[in-house]
Amino acid sequence: MHRYRSHTCGELRASDVGTGVRLSGWLHNRRNLGGILFIDLRDHYGIVQLVVRPEQAEVHERLSSLSKESVVRVDGKVSARGADNVNPELPTGDVEVEVTDVEVLGGAEQIPFTINAEDGVNEERRLEYRFLDLRRERMHRNIILRSQVIAKIREKMVREGFNELATPILSATSPEGARDFLVPSRLHAGKFYALPQAPQQFKQLLMIAGFDRYFQIAPCFRDEDARADRSPGEFYQLDMEMSFVEQEDVFEVIEKVMTELFQELGEGRECTSPFPRVPFREAMLKYGSDKPDLRAQLELVDVSDVFKGSGFKAFADKHVRALAVPDTADQPRKFFDQMGEFAVEQGAKGLAWVRVNDDRSLTGPIAKFLTENDVQQLLTVLKAEPGTAVFFGAGEFDEVSKIMGAVRVEAAKRTGHFEEGVYRFCWIVDFPMFEKDEETGAVEFSHNPFSMPQGGLRALETQDPLDVLAWQYDIVCNGVELSSGAIRNHEPEIMFKAFEIAGYSNEDVEREFGGMLRAFRFGAPPHGGIAPGIDRIVMLLADEPNIRETIAFPLNGNAQDLLMGAPSEVDEARLKELHLSVRKPKL
C-alpha cells in the first residue's frame, strides 16, 4: 500500500464498503458521542467521516488529543452508514471509515480562526494566515475555478489558431496610464527596468514579426490603489493580438471564447449571445456609465430640452436626465425616501421625483413647479404610463451620469426590473480619441494612445479632435469592465499626428516609442487585440464582490503582503550594490 494513501478523502462510495483503505488529510472537525469518536477528514478532493470506537483505545486517545487542522494518516475499513446517518450533502455521505491505525504527519498549533465555517474573520487576519484561509471551502473552490478558467481559455485560444508566446517581464518604462514598478539595475548605475503594465508594445511587435495570432495569460504590474474590482500590484489577463483584422474579427473570437467559458463554468446561468454593440456616447446617455449593468432593465432619458428656459429654476439651463420606473403604484413613500438617501450617498444633493397618476397628472415634491406643457412633454418623451415613478438628476453631464447611472441600477433592483442569475455582456464601441483636461483645457488622449483613429490621418487633419472616434472598444459584463482593446495605429505618420494633437513633439514620440516606430517603418500589418482580465472573469463566475477573493495570495488594500512581509526594507550593503540610497518622507 502507498506510504500515505490508497484513496483520496473525496472518492469513497458505497461500492467501497468492506475495502481496507489508507487516507491522509487534515483533521477538519471532531465530535465525541458517547465515547464513539467521529472525525471529518479533509483533503483537496473532499471530506470523509472517520469512526473510532472505544476499544481502539490508543487510536482514540491520539485522535482525541490532536488540534484541529493537524495532518494525519489513518488506516481502516470502509463501512456503510446507517440509514439515519447518511449525509446527502457529501458525495461520501453513504459511508464512513472504521479507523484501526493513525500516524501524525504534521501537528497543528491552535488555529487563529475556524476553517470549517465562514465566521466573519476580518480580511487582515485572513491575509496574514492566507494558507489557512485557502483551506476554507469557498476560497479553495475559487482558486480551483481560477485554474479551470485559465485551462479552458488556453484550450479555446489554441483551437482558434492562436500561439501562446511569452513577453518580457523586465522592460523599459511605458506611459500606460498608471505608475510603473521599477527595478534598479546593478550593472547600469542609476538606470531602472520597469515591470510591464501590459505587454502592449511587445504583442504589437510580435504581429510585426509575422506571428499573426498571439496570446498569453500575462502577468501585469501597476502601482495603483486597490478597489473592489482591482487588486493593487499585479493582475493577470488573457492578452491577445491578431493581424490583418478589423474590429468585428476581434469581437468574433472573444465572443466565442467568453460565451463558451461562461456557459461551461457559469452553473447554468444564461449568457448574452451575441453581445450588443453600444456606442460610448449612447452608453453614457442611457446608462450613465461606460460599464453598464444590462441586468437592470431601465434606461435614462435626456430631458434637458423639456426644461430649457423653464420657470423651474432647479432644472433650467442644466443637463437633466430622467429615469422612468414603471409599475411603482404600490411603492410607499419610504421607497422614494430611500432612493433619495441612496442618491446622496453617490454624491447628489438630493433626488427629485414625481409619480404619474391614473389621470396622467403628476404628484410628488416637484410636481407643483411643472407647467402643464412640462408635464405633457415629459409623459411623451418618457412614454410614461400611470403608475410610473420618475426620478431626475440635474447638473453637469458627467456628474449627472455618475449619480443617475447608480440610481438606475438601484431602482431596478428595488422594483423587480433587474435580472438575477444571468450574464449580460456588451461591447462599448466608438470611444472618443481625445478629451479635454478640465483644469488645463489641453487636449489629451482619452484612452489608449496606440488606437487607430476612425478615418485615419484625414480625420486627424480635418475634424475637431474632440469629434474624432477611435477604433477602440471595451467588453463589459454585469457592470464590470473586463477589458479594453483596439485596432492599433500601425502607421508612423498617423501616430505622429495623433501625438501632436495631444501635445507631444516628434522628438517626444521618437524618444518614448523608438522601438515601435522603428518596427512600423519595416512593414507593419494592420492588427488589433484585447486583454480580458482573468481575475475579473473569475470574480464574476464565483459571484464574489471583491477581486481579492479570487487570487491565492493577493496584496491587501494598502498594497502589503501580510503573510510574507512585503514590501520590506533592504540592508545597506544591497542598496550600495544597486547604487541606491533611501530618502524617507518626514513624518
pLDDT digits (tens, 9 = 90+) for 263-293: 999 999 999 889 999 999 999 999 999 999 9
Q: How confident is the model at residue 314, as a pLDDT?
A: 85
DSSP type of residue 381: H
**What is the DSSP annotation of 25-65?**
EEEEEEEEETTEEEEEEEETTEEEEEEE-TTSHHHHHHHHH
Spell out the alpha helix ranges (H) of 288-424.
Answer: 304-307, 333-345, 372-382, 397-415
pLDDT classification of 439: cutoffs 50, 70, 90: confident
Dist CA 235 CA 223 (whole Å): 11
% of residues, the chain, pLDDT over 70: 99
DSSP type of residue 147: H
The answer to whether 435 touches 415, Cβ cutoff 8 Å, is: no
User: How much is the average pLDDT of 481-502?
Assistant: 95
Could you tell me the maximum CA-CA distance found in the chain, to the nearest angstrom? 93
Residue holding cell 522603428? 518
**What is the DSSP annotation of 485-541?**
EEEB---HHHHHHHHHHTT--HHHHHHHHHHHHHHHTTT---EEEE--BHHHHHHHH
Q: How confident is the model at residue 176, as a pLDDT?
A: 57
Cα 329 to the center of its chain, rounded Å: 37
Q: How confident is the model at residue 313, as a pLDDT?
A: 83
The torsion region of residue 392 among left (phi > 0), alpha (psi -120 to 50) and beta comes to: beta
Residue holding cell 465555517? 117
pLDDT classification of 449: cutoffs 50, 70, 90: confident
User: How much is the average pLDDT of 353-374?
Assistant: 92
Q: How confident is the model at residue 178, as a pLDDT?
A: 78
User: How much is the average pLDDT of 353-382?
Assistant: 92
Q: How confident is the model at residue 585, as a pLDDT?
A: 87
Q: Is 164 exposed, middle or buried (0-12, 13-18, 19+ CB in 10 A)?
A: exposed
The answer to whether 557 touches 224, Cβ cutoff 8 Å, is: no
Q: How confident is the model at residue 228, as a pLDDT?
A: 76
C-alpha cell recorded at residue 314: 432647479
Residue-wise pLDDT for 22-76, tens only, equals 999 999 999 998 889 999 999 999 999 999 999 999 999 999 999 999 999 999 9
Crossing angle of the two packed helices 534-541 and 137-159, in degrees rounded to 10: 120
Q: How confident is the model at residue 586, as a pLDDT?
A: 83
Q: How confident is the model at residue 175, as a pLDDT?
A: 62
C-alpha cell recorded at residue 4: 500515505
The beta-strand segments (E) located in 54-186 are: 71-80, 95-106, 163-164, 182-184
User: What is the SS3 assignment for 235?
Assistant: strand
Mean pLDDT of the chain: 94
Q: How confident is the model at residue 448, as a pLDDT?
A: 83
pLDDT classification of 120: cutoffs 50, 70, 90: confident
Check whether 173 has a pLDDT greater than 90.
no
User: How much is the average pLDDT of 385-413?
Assistant: 96
Q: How confident is the model at residue 523, as a pLDDT?
A: 95
> Which domains are assigned to the chain?
14-106 (2.40.50.140), 137-270+530-576 (3.30.930.10), 296-418 (3.30.1360.30), 426-527 (3.30.930.10)
